[in-house]
Structure 1
Amino acid sequence: MRAGPLAAAVALILVTAAPAAAAPSPDPLEPNGGAGGAIQLSGVSTLPSQVEFFLHPDGFDGPADLENSGVTVTAGGTQLPSTVSEIPESASDPNRAVVLVLQLGGSGLETARAAVARYAVAAPDGVALGLVTLAAHPTNVLSPTTDRNDFLAALKQVGVAESTDLPGAVSQADAMLVSGAGADQYRSRRVLVVSSRDTAVVASAQTVGARMAAGGRTVDAVTVGPATESVVRLVSAGGGRISTAASADGLRAALDDQADALAGAVLVRARVPYELSGRTTDLQAAAGGLTTTERVALDVDPNAIASAPDTVAVPGGTAWSLLIGLAAISALLVWFAVRVLTPALADSEGRRALARLQRILEHPRGGKRRSRFSVVTLSGHAATAAGYLLRNPARRAKIELSLERAGSSMTPDQWVALRIALTIGLVVVGMLAFGGLPGLILGVVVGAFGTGGWLRFRAGRRAKAFAEQLPDSLRIVVGSLRSGFSLHQAIDSVASEGDGPVATEFRRALAEIRLGGNLEEALERVAERNNSRDVLWLVMALRIQSDVGGSLAEVVETTVETMRERGRLERHVRALSAEGRMSAYVLLALPIGVGGFMFAVRRAYVKPLYTTSIGIGLLVGAIVFMILGAVWLRKLVKVEV
């Protein structure tokens, strides 16, 4: 209790009200509707990995000592570790506010004012109090303040209520709490109606109460005599409770209970586990056998990864089921390799004879031949079945050209059968490891698109090696021409003595020539298989020399110098654009890498992306934009020479 002016003011009000207060009150409190005790939750604040709120008795018949009544906090069906402490507030830093709406009649006016003054003095110093009255009309008397002298001075001016617009007065009190001076620092906002006369306006009462409840603000009421319809609608819609006093004398006990409720409030802090991070769930607090619940959106915890479990749960099964599934897939692939994969061209005598003829044509002098091992060849029923998918000649020719560019010995039928087998196997493994939809998408992407990307990668690497070796190989051709060899003999020397893509392609061109083909046409097919403009320029130079005459060695030498100069310029451009290409690689790899890392270590965090319709839509949109970005970056950093 304060000394000085505050004590004098309270004494003056109590002395003035003494005669009326002397009358005994029978049972001043009758909880509305006979409801039992209750606790209330307010001032919810969510932080990463933590939620805190005020818990207090409802001011009528809730637990007297919340701090020692065993408070438990539950969210999403999970009990949270929690601590209970006093509310850290002071007169200079309030975080709770109560606006009293006074609708007092002429009878017992001084007694009612004395009860309100007693409430103000008993309330904790850190609670800001405001005042609204119904004089000729609803009037804001005092904005919420922690200065009790200002509140008591304003209370002295309160007279008999002439207006009956209680909803309008409550609406003005709510505006003080929301947009008044210092309103942004209040975490708990309440309106307490003290009414001792009838209220005529009821039309807007429920609307005002519902608006306050939607904003997390509560309306309670203490009335003298039965509560009017307007009070009932306000409080029921505002989520509060009503206490009725038999007479004006009973207000003192009712308001004392309200002040005790403010003093008995506690601050509860609860630790939010990583599973609930970022979720909207029901937050339930229980104490003394009573519970209260509020819907809360929990903050996303960026550090929740550190608290994630070390083991990753396998959707749809246990770790043992995953191991068994992988073992079954491995056994199936081994059986498939033994029964279906056979050496190339080993299924008929005619194909073996053709293979021997090809080797004889490529190495008529018994020159050096590099031993080659076919990566994979499919025969029998698997390749035959896959052949039905390639009835379109154009599609078959396209796949055959891609295989030739990659230097693969497989046929289109074999390649399609291999892609189908790998895709099915990867889909099964992915569904066992990651669940239905993620495993299906991963298996299809890696099996269907990954194999195509691998083929293009091999083709690009072989074409690059061919382009790098071609000028040196043609230098040998120029030397042979100057020594008196014919063009066919010069190319044969490169094919016989050389190694790598150029020697292989020249051996194939010579084989075609020996079977009756034309040199220029054979070299054009070499250019097509290796996507080489340099060979096309060579063919063009040979044709021009054949038409106009001249020294063939000089023509080929000029073509070689052009190739070398173009190669130097291309390497210079690649060096200048290296920084841009590296930036493009990082930009494209970063979201994929971060997404994969989060999926591996914190799957629950990214699970909504592939388990909800909104998440799937966002994921599809991200993939589309990634593809567009990749195309744009490729166009940006690619420089044609």
Structure 2
Amino acid sequence: MTIARRIRWLGAVVLGLAVVLPGIAHADGDPSARIDSVQVSQGHASFVLTTADVSGKLDSKSVRVQAGSTSLPAQVTPVSSKTVTAAPPRAVVIALDTSGSMAGSGLAAARQAALSYLASLPNDVRAGLITFSDQPRLLVSPTTNRTLVRAALAHVQANGDTALYDAVRAAVATLDAARLGSSAQRRLVVLSDGVDTSSKANLTSVTTQLAADRIPADVVAFRYGSGDASAAQEIASAAGGRILTAQNAGELTAAFAAVARNFTARAKVDVTVPDALAGRSVMLRVAIGSVSAKTLVTFAAVTPPTPAPAPTNAVQPARSHQTSWSWQLLALLAGVFSIVVLSVVLLRWQGSREDTARRLIQRVSQYGPRRDEHHTGEVEGAAARTAVGLVAQVLRSSGVDQGLAKRLDLADVKRKPAEWASLVLCGSTALGVALMLAGVNGLLSLPIGLLVGWLAQHAFLTIRIGRRRAAFGEQLPDVLQLIVGSLRSGFSLAQAVDAVVRDGTQPAAGEFSRALAETRIGVDLEDGLTHVADRMHCEDLRWVVMATRIQREVGGNLAEVLTNTVDTMRERAQTRRHVRALSAEGRLSGYIIVSLPIALGAWLTLSKPQYMSPLFTTPIGVMMVAGCVGLIIVGAFWIRVLIKVEA
């Protein structure tokens, strides 16, 4: 190629660049600003504005929006952790050198520079903090709560050697653990005043990891002096970061301020579109001082107003929507009810299997040389023993351990009072945390959880005690029949009671076993049976004890007396069941009558709150609700009196 041809070819290239480059600049706009996530609707448009190197904050006064030659009013909202936008997340981890060489003024200057850096970051950037001396230490995971990071900075101390490479690796792992996504902007800011002296990782592995994860690291070399900064330079250049040097507190603050400009400011801009621009494609231009950005936007067209439908047609969609919503709620309630019923059936089946296996083991163990009462399967940790011990001390000091132990024994709960109280406390705390996560006030969630937990355990034990006492009353006629058979076979009363214990039917066997145990320490058998009657609230057993005492004083056939007693008890039980069957309709009516207004009021309050709001927002409505509650309570007691028959 001759020189003349080369000159002509070069001139053509220059001329082409002169024509193309201005067009590209005009199309892309200023690289310091960018418009993303444009959304349009009728009379409205919104987008995310990203800017860099802009002094001051983004607000409605500094941002000017034009569509063609028309200025549009704009509402600017800085992007934060609470602003819902399509902008990708951003995070930075500050790795702060706290080795012994940083003690004194060096650590104070580093702390002040880090605080200035946090203040310069946009609100949506998540900031984390790692300190390193002999080894790295994660103080705060990436978060938008600047208060946590500032509090952690206030308590850092300097000592030990410098583990720079380990700190960079820990910072990368922290960003990976945050799971911000592939589109997230992630960076590291590393402050060190010397070369690495104690890391387990090497420089090559650290730079390779930075390059593979594409995490830029900005390294601030503080007071290096004549030290070798090549390692810091390699860390910074591994993924597009940079190294900055500082010899004093002022230069250190300036270095951190320069690093903070790596994160651009972002804001969500909402503009009102006039009808004249509806349906048109125009160039949307946004200016912030000398910085601007532009993009082509097609605004939504204006939808012509539809004629108002007839009143009947207006009611029909709402009514159909309401019906659909009602069926969905009914289906949800039916599903929840089915799951609860299935869970209860499975739990009762599992419990019955466990009870059968336990009774079989107890019967077999009675014939062995000795009975092992220790639970070999339970292994407690040191923390659990400490917690249970503290709870036990609190229960003893408050004087409630004896009462709780008695209730647990009556309910046949194989737990110590301290263990039971610890479980209830843990469950109540978990409920309080769940309420807090659900949006309940933090000052109220924990007391509500504790109150609900205490009420739940009290109701649980009460129900268990009631069922156990009812089962004892139902088993008593069969137990007395077994005693009668033993007496007729020539056994004494104590031997007959021992036969009941060996039969193993709970809870009768366990309670009569208590009476026998008391006789071994000198208590009369009748007194022991009286104690059992008191524990089980069994009036029939009291009558049996009274008959036994009379027979012992005046003589007679005890077996015949007990046979008559058993016949009387069975006839009373049959009469009681007959009365309960006859009163079932009344009890069911009472349940329906009491629950119907409550359920209907709750349903209307949830489905149509504006219809029920006058009952709770007006004085007359509150009085009506109070009157209804009072009448429901009176009606419930009235129905209870009507259907209750003393048998």
Q: TM-score per shorter chain, which class? A: 0.3 to 0.5
Answer 1 or 2: higher relative contact order, Cα 8 Å, separation at least 6: 1
If the length of structure 1 is used for normalisation, what is the TM-score?
A: 0.39
Instruction: Tell which structure's C-alpha radius of gyration is larger.
Output: 1
